[in-house]
Amino acid sequence: MGVADSGTVGRTNQTVDRTNIHRIWRAVLAAIALGVAVACYCAPVLLIVIGVLLVGLLCARLVYRDRGRFIPNLYARDIRLYDEAYQAFITQSLTELRGHRIPGHPLLWEASQLPEPTQENSDELLLDLGVWIGWSTRLTSDASGRTVYGFDTFEGLVEDWQIEDQFLIKQGTFSLSDPLSQRFIRETGVTLHDGIPGTLGRKVHYVKGRTYETLAPFLAERPGAPIRLFHMDLDTYESCLHGLETCKDRFVEGSILVFDEYLVTNGEMLAFFEFQARYGLEFQYRAWGLEVGEMNAAMVTSRFKRVMYYLAAIAIHLLDGRYLWKIFTKRFWRFWLGAPIGDIVFMLGAAGVRKSVSLEITGMGKLDPTRH
């Protein structure tokens, strides 16, 4: 188990905003809307065509019978493939999450809400499971003013990651030796020490290795220390469930859990569903927002290159279609026909997807030591 030394940077501010790419994206959307308006002025027949299409879409939404079958993300799967208990959990979760949308990242939002570090809370643990080049860990420390422990092999996924019924991301993907990783390492000013990203002056410890082998010994070295913030970004169902099970005796009422890919229903959401059902945990959702991926582009040191990354991401968003013109495929027109209008607006407001969710444990269920 390898650990890098921590730095000395304290809390920077209470609100950490890493959403510049989405401001640019909204400006692009405004420019597109202006272009369409000009085109309609020059050729009024376009206005009639657009009006007919919108009316048709609205009428189709009124008669669409499968509302609620497909949750709002790029890989939306028919939830009727799951058993009734999990279907009910998904439906209830989405209902509750819609009241907790935020424009930014739940991880940084939650970190910024934590109380200032004091002697009384000095033993509380902030864990970041799955860090890639480490910016989620460093920025969490910036936002909280506390030490954050980041866990990763730094050699990529430890198992294949099956994303719904869409595609498979192979074991080893996201290794720091990958060309994309190497580019972000250079352009965000990160250095590696024995294969571990540098802390860059933050109060951060990185723990190298598979969490299957490193997480339990780490906790054993800190007996009784409660987990205040738990960030899950190991991606796969297996790693997520193992992380939750390993940490179960350190969760307390008030522990904040953040899942970066929560709306992938065969991954982190399924793992948490099984975990909370097994132990009868009580919890409440707190935020639904952006995954941490954009943080890496936001930390590119060159302003020019940073803007280029933003524009490239937006170009990919447009060319790939995302929620724009993939309505001509079944999976995506089901989103347009079945998703609440608020979900559609929320999704279209980002050059990327919003699958990150945070929740707070409010009751320990079978994990309550007083019940034994």
What residue type is 177 in one-letter code?
Answer: S
pTM to 2 decimal places? 0.89
Q: What is the DSSP letter of 79?
A: G
Residue 4 has pLDDT above 50, yes or no: no
pLDDT tens-digit series, residues 232-285? 999 999 999 999 999 999 999 999 999 999 988 899 999 999 999 999 999 999
> Strand, helix or coil at 331?
helix
User: 132 to each of 8, 156, 157, 192, 347, how far by Cα in Å?
Assistant: 22, 8, 10, 12, 25
DSSP string, 262-276: TT-TTTHHHHHHHHH
CB 251 within 8 A of CB 227: yes
For 218-239, what is the mean pLDDT?
96
How many residues are present in the chain?
A: 372
Place of tokens 């890919």: 261
Question: How confident is the model over 307-362, as pLDDT tens digits?
Answer: 888 888 787 777 766 556 655 666 667 777 888 888 888 877 766 678 899 999 99
